[in-house]
Amino acid sequence: MGDRFVSRGFTGRRREPDGDRADRIPPGQYATDDFPVLSAGPTPRIPLDSWAFTVDGLVREPVTLSWAELIGLPSREWTVDISCVTKWTKLDTRWEGVSVDDLLAQVELDPRAHFAVARSYGGYTTNLPLADLVNGQAFVAYRFDGQPLEPAHGGPARLVVPRLYFWKSAKWVNGLRLTERDEPGFWESLGYHNRGDPWREQRYAGDE
């Protein structure tokens, strides 16, 4: 094994912030103040009066929530760092919504449920271990930075799972299906990593 590769003449702009903020940028990422939009297709428009969110799969009885019922659940604010596999990280993003714990409390989970597939208006899916969704780690957000979540950013509501790359934070989310086995979702079937932990730089299938 040779020495590490060095790019001739590269010193780096090091746009990363200083101090402990720099320690919050995962490997291979850079900090941005923008909020880039990345989606595989057109932005769906979902009227709130027909919006619905269903928890099904390995549950005793599936449950469907209307928009009013979602808003009626206890909400809280989260301030979290988010990292997109396309290399940007945005620190201290402010969201408001309902924790996945509170959504799962609407159903009785089958003990065999160890994974979930989040699904969205528009047909998008992404898979997650249940362990990454519970205990206050994930939420369904309907407000960003004090405003209703814009459609381009996943409004009226999106899943947010800050501890994983942001493609796991399904925009336009409309359900969670609990499963026993891990079932790869949209990007996970197209060469992206099955779990997507930014701190382990799990970008693509086969990484780590």
Partner 1 sequence: MPTPLTWQVATVDEIRPETAQVKTFTLRLPAWRAHKAGQHYDVRLTAQDGYQAQRSYSIASPPTRTGVVELTIERIADGEVSPYFHDVLVPGDEVEVRGPIGGYFVWEPDHGGPLLLIAGGSGVVPLMAMLRERAAARADIPTTLLASWRTIDDVIYRAELDALGGVADGLRVVHTLTRAQPPGWAGYARRIDGPMLADALAPLGTDPLVYICGPTLLVEAAANGLVEGGVSAARVRTERFGPTG
Which of 18, 20, 23, 41 binds partner 1 (CB under 8 A)? It is 41
3-state SS, 69-87, equals HHHHCCCEEEEEEEECCCC
Whole-angstrom Cα distance, residue 2 to residue 168?
A: 36
Q: Single out the residue of 21, 30, 112, 131 in contact with partner 1 (rule: CB under 8 A).
A: 30
Report DSSP state, residue 120: E
Question: Of the two residues 77 and 150, which places its CB atom closer to partner 1 in the complex?
Answer: 150
Paired with 125 in beta bridges are 119
Q: How far is the CB of 109 from partner 1 (least distance, A)?
A: 30
Q: Is 68 exposed, middle or buried (0-12, 13-18, 19+ CB in 10 A)?
A: exposed
Per CB under 8 A, the list member of 8, 18, 23, 147 interacting with partner 1 is 8
Rule CB under 8 A: is residue 26 a binding residue for partner 1? Answer: no
Give the pair of three-digit tokens for residue 123: 């047909």
**21, 72, 76, 86: which one contacts partner 1 (CB under 8 A)?**
86
Tell which one of 123, 145, 199, 200 touches partner 1 (CB under 8 A): 123
CA neighbours closer than 13 Å in the CB half-sphere of residue 31: 17
* Options 24, 26, 43, 106; binder of partner 1; rule CB under 8 A: 43
Residue with Cβ nearer partner 1 (58 or 84)? 84
* Smallest separation (angstroms) from partner 1 to the CB of 25: 11
Please give the C-alpha separations between residue 145 and each of 44, 73, 193, 201, in angstroms, as whole numbers.
Answer: 21, 20, 29, 27
Instruction: Say whether 55 sits in a helix, a strand or coil.
Output: strand
Interface positions with partner 1 (CB under 8 A) = 4-15, 27-30, 32, 34, 36-44, 84, 86-88, 122-123, 152, 186-187, 189-191, 203-207
